[in-house]
Amino acid sequence: MLAFCVGSWLLLTADVTVYVPQPNEEGLYHTIGCSGGSPNKKPVTITEATEQKLRPHDFCNPPSPPKPKPASVAPATDGPFGLTAGMSREALEAITGEKISKEGDSYHAKKVPKSHRGFEHFALHFGPEGLCAIRAIGVEIPTSAHGVELRRAFDAMEETLASVYGKHDRTDFLRSGSIWHEPQEWMMALLKKERVLMSRWSEDYGSDLKNRVQFVGVMAFAVTQSTGRLGLNYEFDNWDSCKAVADDKEKSVF
């Protein structure tokens, strides 16, 4: 509402308040105050105002347009890392507010709806039925040649996953005939892929799976003899459709 005051008259219009006093001795009047816009401070004579058919809001610059509100971010879901089986790439980008790039057969993301300090990179597989698999890559873990720190991180992650998904199968062995069999060669054997440390959850092991997850796997990897990572894989119940597309693509080469 705009209030326009001349002497004792108050006129209402628009959304700006303008106060105009009685003309001074020189027959001039101009705006004194505006609310919602700034005064243009250009004095005019009564004759000029009449001839130009000035309206009350002519004495004020228009108010600045309202700033657009930032786009709302969709809420995270209840699946692993806040991701849900079948969700589209666009839906994920709406949740995180960031674009994800394609590398090979998967999309790679640094940000997911629900983050974990132990994981820094995510390879996401989308198929005809949406998101079907998550490959989470852990942060580098400095460790001794015995792999003590890496194994400790693995055990902690295994315990966390077991509290969510229940029964599982653990594999911890050194391949037969490996020359890296001494305790201080634990990381070397892992680096040479002659040692395996992993745990798996699925219906075959009596696991309590949820949110359309059909498989969970965590595995220890060696980056060097003194650093390692954890890899965490999720496959949803639509994984077969993704795998079929990948298989057909590979066969098409021949």
User: What does pLDDT average to over the chain?
Assistant: 82
In angstroms, the CA 230 to CA 228 distance is 7
- Please check the confidence at residue 69 and state whether its pLDDT lies above 80: no
What pTM was computed for the model?
A: 0.69
In this prediction, residue 193 carries a pLDDT of 96
Which position has the higher pLDDT, 64 or 215? 215
Token pair in block for residue 84 = 């849900």
The model's pLDDT over 70-116, given as tens digits with 9 standing for 90+, comes to 444 445 568 999 999 999 999 999 999 999 989 888 999 999 999 99
- Please check the confidence at residue 151 and state whether its pLDDT lies above 80: yes
- Nearest-Å Rg of the Cα atoms of the chain is 34
Least confident residue range of 40-54, 153-167, 185-199, 206-220: 40-54
CA distances to 5, 19, 38, 235 from 61, in Å: 17, 14, 5, 60
Residue by residue, what is the 3-state secondary structure of the chain? CCEEEECCEEEECCCCEEEECCCCCCCEECCCCEECCCECCCCEEHHHHHHCCCCHHHHECCCCCCCCCCCCCCCCCCCHHHCCCCCCHHHHHHHHCCCCEEECCEEEECCCCCCCCCEEEEEEEEECCEEEEEEEEECCEECCCCCHHHHHHHHHHHHHHHHHHECCEEEEEECCCCCCCCHHHHHHHHHCCCEEEEEEECHHHCECCCCCEEEEEEEEEECCCCEEEEEEEEEECCHHHHHHHHHHHHHCCC
In angstroms, the CA 231 to CA 81 distance is 14
Amino acid at the residue 191: L
Least confident residue range of 58-67, 74-83, 144-153, 208-217: 58-67
The model's pLDDT over 196-249, given as tens digits with 9 standing for 90+, comes to 999 999 999 999 999 999 999 999 999 999 999 999 999 999 999 998 887 887
The residues near 44 (Cβ < 8 Å, ≥ 6 apart) are 28, 29, 30, 52, 54
How much is the average pLDDT of 3-29?
A: 45
In this prediction, residue 104 carries a pLDDT of 83
Sign of CA dihedral 113, 246, 105, 157: positive
